[in-house]
A and B are shown apart, each in its own frame.
Chain A
Amino acid sequence: SQQGEEDPQALSIQEGENATMNCSYKTSINNLQWYRQNSGRGLVHLILIRSNEREKHSGRLRVTLDTSKKSSSLLITASRAADTASYFCATLSGGYNKLIFGAGTRLAVHP
């Protein structure tokens, strides 16, 4: 079974708007990672947040982590058409040797 579950499954916004995606997970984690996948391509790492961190920034990306609620959110500010992709969260489980992915959020940014 998948550890992380993203919400929403799909998101459609206009350029310049902010996009927020959420990830919930089931068991305790060491870290949580976010990845992006452009259509037909491999995944690209975006950001990693550790269990003792609450917020992290990277450029237009902001990630938060709430371990009490077992949830994380990814915020993309001032979105661009090039941000159109699927976004996945991933968490460590099974003795910290297995990186398990959620089903992803498909983001469409319209010019």
Chain B
Amino acid sequence: NAGVTQTPKFQVLKTGQSMTLQCAQDMNHEYMSWYRQDPGMGLRLIHYSVGAGITDQGEVPNGYNVSRSTTEDFPLRLLSAAPSQTSVYFCASSYGLFGLAGAQETQYFGPGTRLLVL
């Protein structure tokens, strides 16, 4: 299994540009999520999905859109990039989060996408 993959690894955008960060997993996980990590800080949840067709907001959803048309893919869209969105973005997946035993609640993280908005 490839696990969780993210593309691109690095991206530079100008203010106002749009782009999509790709995330895919081949583990048949129902739960997927997007986090951003800023220097010296932990991860902040942007959006998450508990299954295909179902998405919801996390802690910092403004400026980001998501969709989940398949179990495997969970793209994150920046509609109009702003310098405040400069960050490292991580995608994660798991079988579930609640009520399932042991390793099924473990989050598997992708390698991250470093985004710079000028």
Residues of A within 8 A of B (CB): 1-2, 4, 6, 30-31, 33, 35, 40-45, 48, 88, 90, 92, 96-104
> Which of under 10, 10 to 19, 20 to 34, or 35 or more describes the interface residues of B?
20 to 34
Q: How far is the CA of A104 from the CA of B37 in the complex (A)?
A: 11
Q: How far is the CA of A57 from the CA of B59 in the complex (A)?
A: 31
Which secondary structure dominates where chain A touches chain B? Answer: strand
- Whether the pair A42, B42 counts as a contact (CB closer than 8 A) is no
Quick one: given A98-B45, A102-B42, are A48 and B56 in contact (CB under 8 Å)? no
- Whether the pair A31, B105 counts as a contact (CB closer than 8 A) is yes
Q: Which residues of A contact B109 (CB under 8 A)?
A: 42-44
Please tell me which one of the listed residues A31, A40, A43 contacts residue B43 in the complex, with CB atoms under 8 A apart.
A43
Given A2-B42, A44-B109, A98-B48, 9 extra CB contacts under 8 A:
A41-B111, A92-B98, A96-B99, A98-B58, A98-B59, A99-B33, A100-B59, A103-B40, A103-B41
- Whether the pair B97, A48 counts as a contact (CB closer than 8 A) is no
- Cβ-based interface call for B50 (8 A): yes
Residues of B within 8 A of A (CB): 4, 33, 35, 40-45, 48, 50, 56, 58-59, 90, 92, 97-99, 102, 105-112
A-B CB contacts (within 8 Å), total count: 67
Determine how close the nearest CB of chain A comes to the CB of B90; give it in whole angstroms: 6
Q: Which residue of B lies closest to A41 (CB)?
A: B111
Q: Which residues of B contact A103 (CB under 8 A)?
A: 40-42
Q: Which residue of A lies closest to B108 (CB)?
A: A45
23 contacts between A and B (CB under 8 A): A1-B59, A2-B44, A4-B42, A30-B99, A35-B107, A42-B4, A42-B90, A42-B111, A43-B107, A43-B109, A45-B106, A45-B108, A48-B105, A96-B97, A97-B98, A98-B48, A98-B59, A99-B107, A100-B45, A101-B44, A102-B42, A103-B42, A104-B42
Q: Which residues of B contact A45 (CB under 8 A)?
A: 106-108
Please tell me which one of the listed residues A30, A33, A43, A88 contacts residue B98 in the complex, with CB atoms under 8 A apart.
A30
- Whether the pair B90, A48 counts as a contact (CB closer than 8 A) is no
Q: How far is the CA of A104 from the CA of B108 in the complex (A)?
A: 18
